[in-house]
Amino acid sequence: MNSFNQYGITKIDISKSEQELSIKDMQKPRIVVFFQILRRKFFKLAQLNLLHFIFNIPAFVLAEIICNALAYYYKTNMGLNVHNWPVMFMLVVCIPAITVGPSQAGFTFVLRNFAREENAFIWYDYKQNALKNFKQGIIISGINLLVFVGLILSISFYLSMPHKNAIVNIVVCLQSIAFVFYLMMNLYIYPMLVTFKLKTRYIYKNALIFAVTKFLTNFIVLAVCFIIAFITMLNFFIGLMLLPFFTLSITGFICNFHAYGTIKKYMMDPIQ
């Protein structure tokens, strides 16, 4: 049964057994648990990465088209030569900004199970949850695409204006802030999609609340993911080799480990 806490977050009542942890695990620092899971699941993360890479190829193609268009716009209107590979990595690798929604749902379900130390069958769970969340996944990926492309184009338009005044600078600043917060919202959108039966508007509402109230930790998580992506991009060929096997699942696991901890704390109440 759904309820609302003092923050206005839609909460889901679940049975106590679904969120019980052993006393030993509860006493461990979260960072220790993270690296323990990462060590145990490393090869499964590689398998999941390859699977998600294959099914997410349309998103890479779309991101490449968008980045090429943006690079051309910057060059013709602002005289800037922008390399599109880093932009595509930041959009697709670090957070699910441009992605195939159902594929991202299956990917997130497996990573979420890893984050809460539950078993997951890579192919079966990936496929089942991609199909289960197919419609809502398509809707969310469509919304994300429109919002991100709209914000990027709008920011680019104002930056390319030859004569800028205070109002233009304020607009660019506000849109850039909105872009960052929307990136943070995407840390929570797909984990909530695969964990609860929530309408899309409640998913976005909760994600916005988490983006604002957990701004500092969200910023740290995004920064870590961007650094990982940047390191892999230092050498194009090394980055290209790592992408199908590690980059997606490592950054995805970081995001989901962080997001699930927040979601569990604020949206899951044990039924006594």
Render pLDDT for 104-132 as a digit per residue (tens, 0 to 9).
Answer: 999 999 999 999 888 889 999 999 999 99
In a domain, 121, yes or no: yes
pLDDT score at 214: 95
In a domain, 177, yes or no: yes
Specify the number of domains making up the chain: 1
pLDDT score at 228: 87
Question: 143 and 104 in contact (C-beta within 8 Å)?
Answer: no
pLDDT at 21 over 50: no
Query: Residue 181 contacts by C-beta under 8 Å, 6 or more apart in sequence?
Result: 208, 211, 212
Give the C-alpha separation, 98 to 186, whole Å.
10
In a domain, 11, yes or no: no
Mean pLDDT, the chain, integer: 84
In a domain, 18, yes or no: no
In a domain, 16, yes or no: no
Give the C-alpha separation, 121 to 51, whole Å.
12
pLDDT score at 16: 39
The residues with which 269 forms a beta bridge, in sequence order, are 13
DSSP state of 2: E
Question: 68 and 88 in contact (C-beta within 8 Å)?
Answer: no
- Of 20-24, 90-94, 153-157, which range is least confident? 20-24
Phi, psi of 18 (to 5 degrees): -75, -15
Question: 104 and 186 in contact (C-beta within 8 Å)?
Answer: no
Give the C-alpha separation, 232 to 238, whole Å.
7
- Torsion, CA 34, CA 37, CA 39, CA 40, rounded to 10: 180
pLDDT at 92 over 50: yes
In a domain, 138, yes or no: yes
Range ranked top by mean pLDDT from 14-28, 142-156, 170-184 = 170-184
- Of 34-48, 66-80, 174-188, which range is least confident? 66-80
In a domain, 183, yes or no: yes
In a domain, 5, yes or no: no
Three-state DSSP at 3 gives strand
Sheet holding 268-271, edge to edge: 2-4, 10-15, 268-271
Mean pLDDT calculated for residue range 209-231: 92
Report residue 197 as tokens.
């039966």
Q: 126-130: long-range contacts at Cβ-Cβ below 8 A with a sequence spacing of 24 or more?
A: 126/48, 126/51, 126/52, 129/105, 129/194, 130/55, 130/102, 130/103, 130/105, 130/106
Percent of the chain residues past pLDDT 90, beyond the cut: 50
pLDDT at 23 over 90: no
| Domain span holding position 197 | 23-265
Range ranked top by mean pLDDT from 30-34, 61-65, 136-140 = 136-140
Closest C-alpha among 258, 138, 205, 208 to residue 2: 205
pLDDT score at 12: 58
In the chain, the amino acid numbered 98 is I
pLDDT at 219 over 70: yes
pTM of the model: 0.84
